[in-house]
Structure 1
Amino acid sequence: MLKGTKLYGILRFKCPKCQEGDFFKGHPYKLGTMGVVHKRCKACDQKFELETGFYQGSYYVSYGLGVALFIAVVILNYLFRETITPTSLMISFILALIFLLPLLYSLSKIIWATMFIKYDKDAIINHQIRLDNDSRTQK
C-alpha cells in the first residue's frame, strides 16, 4: 500500500497529515486506551481535535460502518449456512458487533479526521524548520 493515500493512514492508525505519528494512544482492543486520540501528532505537531466536539461527527461514519458490517454478516450467512433464520442472523450480527466494536469505534474516529486533515508529504520537514526558527527553542 502506498504511503500518501488516505487508506494507508487509516489502516495503520497514523496521523492523517504526515502518516508517521500515531493517531491513538493505544491499540483499539486495549480497553484502557480504546479510542483515546493524542492531542497532537508527535512527528508533525498536527492538532487532532480541530474544534470542541470534533469527533461527534464520527458517529455518522460509525453508523455507515455498522451498516456495512450488517450487510457483510448477511452475505456471509447466505454463503456459508444452509438454513438461515432471523434468530441465527441476529445472533451472528450481535456476535460480530461485539467482537468488532472497538475496531469500528477507532476506525470511525480516524476516518472522520482523515476527511478534514489533508496529507502533506513535507509536514515533518516543515515542522522541523519552524522549530529551528523559533526563538523559544534556541538556547
Structure 2
Amino acid sequence: MLKETKLYSVLFMKCPVCREGDFLKGHPYKFSSMGKVHKRCSCCNTKFELETGFYQGSYYVSYALGVALFMAVVLLNYIFREELTPSSLMISFVVSLIVLFPLLYALSKIIWAQFFFNYDRTASKKSKVTSA
C-alpha cells in the first residue's frame, strides 16, 4: 500500500508510474551522474521527459525546497544555540546548502515529475507482456 503513494516514489526515487524502475541514472551524490534522469523507465517503458526542457519547471520546486531548508536551519539554530549571530546563521546556511545541494536537486526533479505522472499498478505488467 505504501508503494502506491507518491511519497514512496519520491523517497526511493522510483518511476512515478510503476514505482519499480529507477528514476535517476545514479545516486544523487555521484557527481558524474548527478541529477541525470533516465530517458525511459526500465520496467514500464514510460518516457520521463515529456518535452524538451521539461525539468526546467523543477526550479520552482527547488526554490521551495531551498526555502524550507533555510527555515529549518533558522529554527534549529534558534533552538540549539544560545546566541544567534548573522555570521553563524550564514555559515549554517552555506554548509547545509553545500551538503544537501545534490539531494535537493534530485528531489526537485522527482517531485516535479509527480505532478505530471500518475501511478498505474498494471504498468510494469503491460511492459512485460508487450516485450515478451
TM-score (norm 1): 0.92
User: SS of the residue aligned with 1:83?
Assistant: coil
CA offset at residue 55 of structure 1? 0.2
Matched residue SS, 2:99 = helix
Amino acid at match of 1:111: I
2:115 counterpart SS class: helix
Larger radius of gyration: 1
2:109 matches 1:117: no
Q: Which has the higher contact order (CA 8 A, sep 6+)?
A: 2
- Aligned twin of 1:23: 23
Residue equivalent to 2:41: 41
Unaligned runs of 5+ in 2: none
Which runs of 5 or more structure 1 residues have no equivalent in the other structure? 133-139
Offset of residue 68 of structure 1: 0.1
User: Where in structure 2 are the equivalents of 1:1-139 lying within 5 Å?
Assistant: 2-132=2-132
Aligned-partner Cα distance in 2 for 1:70–1:112: 20
**How large is the Cα RMSD of the aligned pairs?**
1.0
Number of corresponding residues: 132
Distance 1:96 1:131 in 2: 45
**TM-score with structure 2 setting the length:** 0.97
Q: Which runs of 4+ in 1 moved over 6 A?
A: none
Superposed displacement of residue 35, structure 1: 0.4
Give the letter for the 1:11 counterpart: L
